[in-house]
Amino acid sequence: MSNMYSYYPNISHNNPSDTDFADGQSDHKDTANNEPSDLVDIAPVPEVHLAEIGDRVAQSDVLKNINENTLYDPAEVDRFNEKNVSKLSLSRLQRYYENKDRHVISILSKRNQISIDKKFMLEFGNREILMDTSHTMIDYQLVVANSIGFFILLPNTVNDHRFKFDMDLKSPHGQFKGKHGMVGFDTKGRMLYLGRANNEDVYLAMAPNDFLGGTSELCAAGHSTGSSVMS
């Protein structure tokens, strides 16, 4: 038998008023040296629960079984994909929210496609968006002029003594960093690096005539079929 025992001492709950803060002494008696009343031997481990050295289940196997049996069921996924797709308008979701409809959870049992109502959309080029970045952190920003010229570099203030444009015509190999930017046309061979203005890269873009004439379709953001370096 082992000499390791566990016991439950008689602990009374303390109250801030029971302590004399003047001398730091408490009214409670120290029970740490009292004899234990109920002794329970916790040392012996049943042989059936003993594990051999190296006898363990790899964590990867545990995660695999969790995914296969609880989090991911291929049959359930197939049944979901076979369901008919229902169109769910954004205005309908708005009504659910405003009316605090408790039955909204039932739409999760269906396969839905969210359709955005026209009233929630802002059409491109209508100048309906005013951005205030005074309290916003922007990871990426691309500004494209709406006509030929460098006026877009000028600050939108009467006076700005901090404005600075460092022109650099010795780096024609500079690649356009616009993989997230919507320029509107394929940037392959059409971008010339000119320097930096207020810590922002400046490029001269040679846009196609059909783009300038408004007869071509706008390309997706970041669209480029090759190097942007101007030939």
pLDDT at residue number 4 = 43
Please answer whether residues 164 and 198 qualify as being in contact, where contact means their C-beta atoms are separated by less than 8 angstroms.
Answer: yes
Residues 229 and 128 in one domain: yes
Residues 100 and 143 in one domain: no
pLDDT classification of 121: cutoffs 50, 70, 90: confident
Q: Return the structure tokens found at 150.
A: 């460098």
E-strand spans in 151-226? 165-167, 191-197, 200-205
In a domain, 156, yes or no: yes
* 130 Cβ contact partners less than 8 Å away, ≥ 6 residues apart: none
Q: Return the structure tokens found at 231.
A: 């030939």
Q: Is 50 exceeded by the pLDDT of residue 28? A: no
Residues 169 and 80 in one domain: no
pLDDT classification of 115: cutoffs 50, 70, 90: very high
Residues 176 and 207 in one domain: yes
Residues 142 and 159 in one domain: yes
Q: Is 60 exceeded by the pLDDT of residue 11? A: no
pLDDT at residue number 49 = 66
Q: Which domain holds residue 220?
A: 123-231
Q: Which residue has the higher pLDDT, 48 or 23?
A: 48
Tell me which of 119, 137, 152 is where a domain ends: 119
CA distance 199 to 197: 5
Q: pLDDT tens across 131-155, in order?
A: 776 777 777 788 888 778 888 888 8
Task: Work out how many domains the chain is built from and give that number.
Answer: 2
Q: Which residue has the higher pLDDT, 17 or 70?
A: 70
Residues 223 and 196 in one domain: yes
Residue 153 burial by CB count (10 A; 0-12/13-18/19+): exposed, middle or buried?
middle
The residue length of the chain stands at 231
Report, as an integer, the average pLDDT of 202-230. 87
For residue 139, count other CB atoms closer than 10 A to its CB: 5
Residue 187 burial by CB count (10 A; 0-12/13-18/19+): exposed, middle or buried?
buried
CA distance 178 to 201: 11
Q: pLDDT tens across 144-183, in order?
A: 887 788 888 888 888 888 899 999 999 889 899 888 888 8
Q: pLDDT tens across 56-80, in order?
A: 777 778 777 776 666 556 777 778 7
Minimal CA–CA distance to 86: which of 113, 66, 60, 65?
Answer: 113
